Amino acid sequence: MRVLAYELRRLRGLRSTWLILAAVLLCDAAVAAVLAWRVPDGALAVPTAVRSVAAAVPLLPLPIAALGAGALGALSYGHEVRHPGLAASRVAFGRRVGLLVGKSVVIGAVSAALAVVTLLLDAVAVRLALPSSVDPAPAFRPDVFGSDPAGLLAAGAPGRPLLAFALLVVAGGWAGLLTTSLVRSAAAGLLVLCALPVLLEPAVGMILRQAGRYWPAWVRELLPFQYGLDWVRGEPGAAAVGPDPVLFAALAAPVLVLLVAAVLAQVRRRAL
């Protein structure tokens, strides 16, 4: 609990934390409004609404909120390297790992809150920016999910991609923290974080293709190369039904490698 309280105080006391959060919310809302303003006439499709609310820009390695969470994670570790606040954490391996775990918990919680606030703010921006010639009922109607609350996660509903967006934001915060723990530089950690999706999307896509599977439709709109790499991503209509163990294993492997590398790096060091 002391580590969590320390990390919360440190995170609140940094001006960069509030600047990043404000910049992410403003940029996300602006991008969401622009994407909504460019929606063609007719009924608003769920994939288009999800892409607008998530402010997913093609060729951007991660959504803006995920990049902001990654920046918070990178600065969390980078600031600790420059200005260590816990002297004991520079000696014992257990204390250093405990501090890393505490940072992960705090960054994960802040990233989750950032994802929720971003989705709410972007939904308002999209609703206000939609042209009058666009019918938002298919995506924004309260009863679009039916009477069953589980319908939010049904195929074709916006629940799955928005949940994937929230998980991606949390993963971005953790990845920024772990990559910076390896290179001990916030700037280098952010560069590695931006490079990971560019390398992982085609690699995971090829693994799925070899297994006769493709990226699920509810993940497709959040990928950086939304309109390219069709030879890896598969047909536009291809979608996985239910949990895909191949997809889970392909995505979990890099995460486990990064986590193990971060822990092993602490073993070989005498300082955080």
pLDDT at 226: 57
Q: Convert the pLDDT of each residue in 233-272 to its tens digit.
A: 555 444 444 456 777 777 788 888 898 998 888 888 776 6
Range with lowest mean pLDDT among 4-13, 91-100, 151-160, 198-207: 151-160
Block residue for tokens 């440190």: 10
Q: What is the pTM of this model?
A: 0.85
Quick check: 77 and 180 in contact, CB under 8 A? yes
Quick check: 240 and 216 in contact, CB under 8 A? yes
pLDDT at 93: 79
User: Burial of 192 by CB count in 10 Å (0-12 exposed, 13-18 middle, 19+ buried)?
Assistant: buried
User: Burial of 140 by CB count in 10 Å (0-12 exposed, 13-18 middle, 19+ buried)?
Assistant: middle
pLDDT at 129: 85
Q: Which of the listed ranges 48-62, 102-116, 120-134, 153-167 does the model predict with the highest average pLDDT?
A: 102-116
pLDDT higher than threshold 70 for residue 153: no
**Nearest to 104, CA basis, from 171, 10, 189, 164:** 171
Across the chain, mean pLDDT equals: 80
Quick check: 248 and 216 in contact, CB under 8 A? no
Which of 224 and 191 is assigned the larger pLDDT?
A: 191
